Amino acid sequence: MSEADPIIQIRGVTKRFGKHTAVDNVSLDIKSGEFFVLLGPSGCGKTTLLRMIAGFELPTEGQILIDGQDMAGIPPNKRPVNMVFQSYAVFPHMSVAENVGYGLKIAGVGRAERDERVREALQLVSLGGFEDRKPDQMSGGQRQRVALARSLVMRPKVLLLDEPLSALDAKLRAQMQFELSDLQDKVGITFVTVTHDQDEALSMASRIAVMNKGDIAQLASPSDLYEYPANRFVADFVGSVNVFEGKLTLDEPDRAAVECPGLGKVYLNHGVTGPHGADVWIALRPEKIYLHVPGEGKAIRAAGQDAPEDHNLARGVIKGMSYLGDITLYEIKLDNGAMIRVSRPNLSRHDQEHFTWDDRVSMHWRADSPVVLLG
């Protein structure tokens, strides 16, 4: 089997709970060796989808194949996947070694081999020497490592992780993000993770499926997801964004323009292939907007020359600012009344003092920054 073969194939899977449709006709392939993330707000169906792969929920319609084999009628204990639960589900009445060795014992692995594999697995998650501890003598982070080791020791084809980092504090979470990616590299097992945290998804995933109301809103790599969101939901859910309604006035292979009543004339240096005069939305990330003192802007932009004279420019008054340490976030009221968010890196210690409340400012952005959304 080559690396690119799908290890999991989800074909037209629907899951209904009574009248509520949790997962709505989803099809997707997960490739062998991927770090795949299901991202979405709570209630979007991502956990249900994960639990269907594990076998704890059964699809109302559709088919799930793991390694080419149809999983219908196969109970969770016979599937070649293992799961790390959101609450970790570490057995409180067993020691760490007993927890990690539980699955091997059931599989009938002999004592000597079992001990060896448990030791290896604990080493892998940096818990060497913790064999005899009880779960309630461990921190949340350590319990999670036990849960990881307990699943990895089974050498599953796919490891499923349900909100693996949600119960950890911010520092530990950042550290575990790196460790999980690292671990996945080391063991080469396909990881499928569910999360509602976009940072987590962007930092760990090789591919992300954003889910919304039981549907896949977009399936892409982290950078594509952020830079080329397919629709307003994804643009808004992944990162922070300014969205303006507008009409497509120009659309050629190498350029396009959109008239936004809120923002002004927006010029793009690529085509969008939408019908002329169509209603579209412009999404513009706060960090892609340059902020300057009025007058200064034109001069700076003149050097770039990537848009016609009166395009990709806006003016307004700062109505709010929040200093976040690494960046400062500005809320600016545009001259036509709309609000826009702009972020600016604090490149030097007193950078944030350049602009303050009620300052008049002008803004511009590059012609490849705005994203045109058709839906």
Of 256, 312, 253, residue with least CA distance to 284: 312
Only one of the segments 85-93, 171-179, 219-227, 319-327 lies at the binding site for other proteins (rule: CB under 8 A); that segment is 85-93
168 binds other proteins (CB under 8 A): no
State whether residue 200 is helix, strand or coil. Answer: helix
* CB of 12 or CB of 277, closer to other proteins: 12
Q: What DSSP letter does each residue of 306-367 carry, written as one string?
A: -S-TTSSEEEEEEEEEEE-SSEEEEEEEETTS-EEEEEEE--STTGGGGS-TT-EEEEE--T
CA dihedral 224, 229, 230, 236 (to 10 degrees): 150
Q: Exposed (0-12), middle (13-18) or buried (19+): which is 7, by Cβ within 10 Å?
A: buried
166 lies in the site for other proteins, by CB under 8 A: no
Q: The tokens of 158 are what? A: 């796919």
Residue 87 or 123 with smaller CB distance to other proteins: 87
* Binding flag, residue 172, other proteins (CB under 8 A): no
Of 168 and 219, which has the nearer Cβ to other proteins?
168
181 in contact with other proteins (CB under 8 A): no
- Residue 134 or 292: which CB sits closer to other proteins? 134
Rounded least distance, CB 150 to other proteins, Å: 7
Dihedral, 134, 139, 141, 147 alpha carbons, nearest 10 = 20
Burial of 86 (0-12, 13-18, 19+ CB in 10 A): middle
Q: Is residue 110 part of the contact set for other proteins (CB under 8 A)?
A: no
Identified binder of other proteins from the candidate list 5, 20, 27, 58, rule CB under 8 A:
58
Q: Which stretch binds other proteins (CB under 8 A): 73-81, 303-311, 312-320, 326-334?
A: 73-81
Polymer length of the chain: 375
| Binding of residue 82 to other proteins (CB under 8 A) | yes
Is 207 near other proteins (CB under 8 A)? no
Name residues contacting other proteins, limited to 332-351 (CB under 8 A).
none
206 binds other proteins (CB under 8 A): no
Q: Which C-beta is closer to other proteins: that of 77 or that of 348?
A: 77
How many chain residues interact with other proteins (CB under 8 A)? 32
* Least distance (Å) between residue 82 CB and other proteins: 6
Rounded Cα distance between 65 and 252, Å, is 43
Q: In degrees rounded to 5, what are phi and psi of residue 225?
A: -60, -40
From 70-78, 202-210, 315-323, 367-375, span contacting other proteins (CB under 8 A): 70-78
| CA separation for the pair 4, 124 (Å, rounded) | 26
By CB under 8 A, is residue 134 in contact with other proteins? Answer: yes
Q: Which residue's entry shows tokens 């340059």?
A: 290
Triad 243, 202, 213: Cα angle to 5°:
60
Q: Which of 27, 56, 113, 269 binds other proteins (CB under 8 A)?
A: 56
Q: Which C-beta is closer to other proteins: that of 85 or that of 315?
A: 85
**272: β partners:** none
Q: Which of 68, 91, 116, 178 binds other proteins (CB under 8 A)?
A: 91
User: In the window 284-343, what residues touch other proteins (CB under 8 A)?
Assistant: none
Min dist CB 58 to other proteins, Å, is: 5
Residue 115 φ/ψ, nearest 5 degrees:
-55, -40
Considering beta carbons, is residue 137 or 356 the nearer one to other proteins? 137
> 3-class DSSP state for residue 52?
helix
Instruction: Tell me which residues in 137-156 interact with other proteins (CB under 8 A).
Output: 137, 147, 150-151, 154
Binding region for other proteins (CB under 8 A): 54-58, 60, 73, 75-78, 81-83, 85-87, 89, 91-93, 102-103, 106-107, 134, 136-137, 147, 150-151, 154
